[in-house]
Amino acid sequence: MGWIKENRNDCKSATFLIEKQQVTALTFSEKIKLKVHLYGCSWCETYGRQSKSMHLIIANFFNQTLTKPKVLQEDFKNKLKILITDKLKEN
Amino acid sequence: MDNENLTSPALWVDQYADKLYNFALKKVFSEQLAEDLVQETFLSALQARANFKGESSELTWLISILKNKVVDSFRKEKLSIIDTPEDDFFKENGHWKSKPIPIAFEEVNPLEKKELNKVLAQCLSKLPNLWKVVFSLKYMDDSSAEEICAQLDITKANYWVIIHRSKLNLRACLQKKWL
């Protein structure tokens, strides 16, 4: 029963499988491994729940916050213009 | 003075800089890096100008240069997948070092939602750039794992590792700041 004991302690692998499961199907043995682990591990169960919430809030964050267009600072634009003008003179 | 037609590089900044900047920002997630990439794009475009045949629009041409710059910047950073110190969350046998506190990372009202986004932005900004890019491709462009791996030139195994470690880091950071 060494496998079960090892698996029970291995939260690192379990959390990895929790993440993998959100994006792709697990193999049969991975599924068993995760199920058996979660059966006895409330800490990883917590992680799994939080991981799903994080998935949602990250998606929300990217869709809302980052779609607002931003503009470059005028200073930076002026610097760029000077740089381009200088390069044009070189050629 | 140069011919003041549309293709005069003197006008590039006014016409294209913000568009390129926003494109870069969505890919690299860092304002500083996005600025650098816009600058590099203009400089490369100046040198390649003679080869531009006008088959596509000037903006499309500039964006194709920018895309290459973005991918190059990821490649430069690729070491960080391997080089990041092993995360600090688990003991040697793989068990959690400390119990994840079962707080809910969910917004209850609009005010909290705003606050949560702020905290999340802080936590995301601490991740290595390559990891952020994985998130932005995944969530903003809805790219599949295959597309992301191809674009960033990383293996599937590395992709899982990045997602796993990012989420562990984000969880720890949210726990600290959101609790």
User: Which residue in chain A is spatially nearest to B86 when comparing CA positions?
Assistant: A12
Q: Cα distance from B143 to chain A (closest Cα, Å)? A: 11
Q: Find the radius of gyration of the CA atoms of chain B.
A: 20
ipTM over the 0.85 cut-off: no
One-letter amino acid at B31 equals E
**Do residues B84 and B68 both lie within one domain?**
no
Q: Cα distance from B14 to chain A (closest Cα, Å)? A: 8
**Do residues B34 and B114 both lie within one domain?**
no
Segment B25-67, tens digit of pLDDT: 877 777 888 999 999 999 999 998 888 877 788 999 999 999 8
Look at residue A75 and give its three-state secondary structure: helix
The verdict on residue B24 lying in a domain is yes
- The reported pTM is 0.74
The verdict on residue B1 lying in a domain is no
Res B79 pLDDT > 80: no
Look at residue B8 and give its three-state secondary structure: coil
Query: Average pLDDT over chain B, rounded to whole?
Result: 83
Interface test with B, best of A84, A86, A89 (most B CBs within 10 A): A84
Res B98 pLDDT > 50: yes
**Do residues B153 and B115 both lie within one domain?**
yes
Which of B46, B76, B106 is a domain's end point? B76
Segment A5-59, tens digit of pLDDT: 888 889 999 999 999 998 889 999 999 999 999 998 999 999 999 999 999 889 8
**Do residues B51 and B111 both lie within one domain?**
no
A76 touches B: beta carbon within 8 Å: yes
Q: Cα distance from A35 to chain B (closest Cα, Å)? A: 16
* Cα–Cα distance measured from residue B25 to residue B38, given in angstroms and rounded to the nearest whole number: 10
| pLDDT score for B74 | 74
The verdict on residue B142 lying in a domain is yes
Chain A residues whose beta carbon lies within 8 Å of the beta carbon of residue B9: 84, 88
**Do residues B72 and B87 both lie within one domain?**
no
Q: Cα distance from B95 to chain A (closest Cα, Å)? A: 5
Interface test with B, best of A5, A30, A62 (most B CBs within 10 A): A62
Segment B114-135, tens digit of pLDDT: 888 888 888 888 888 778 888 8
Interface test with B, best of A58, A70, A71 (most B CBs within 10 A): A58
* Cα–Cα distance measured from residue B27 to residue A56, given in angstroms and rounded to the nearest whole number: 20
A62 and B139 within 8 Å at the Cβ level: the answer is yes
The verdict on residue B164 lying in a domain is yes
Chain B residues whose beta carbon lies within 8 Å of the beta carbon of residue A2: none
B100 and A70 within 8 Å at the Cβ level: the answer is no
Which of B76, B111, B127 is a domain's end point? B76
**Do residues B154 and B106 both lie within one domain?**
yes
Segment B19-31, tens digit of pLDDT: 999 988 877 777 8
**Do residues B50 and B89 both lie within one domain?**
no
Residue B31 Ramachandran class (φ > 0 left, ψ -120 to 50 alpha, else beta): alpha
B104, B2 contact by CB (below 8 A) = no
Q: Cα distance from A26 to chain B (closest Cα, Å)? A: 12
Q: Count structural domains, chain B.
A: 2
The verdict on residue B100 lying in a domain is yes
A80 and B39 within 8 Å at the Cβ level: the answer is yes
Which of B43, B76, B109 is a domain's end point? B76
Supply the range of the domain harboring residue B157: 80-178
**Do residues B102 and B63 both lie within one domain?**
no
CATH number at residue B152: 1.10.10.10
A51 touches B: beta carbon within 8 Å: yes
Question: Closest Cα to residue B62, out of B110, B96, B23?
Answer: B23
**Do residues B61 and B109 both lie within one domain?**
no
**Do residues B93 and B174 both lie within one domain?**
yes
**Do residues B28 and B48 both lie within one domain?**
yes
CATH number at residue B15: 1.10.1740.10
**Do residues B50 and B84 both lie within one domain?**
no
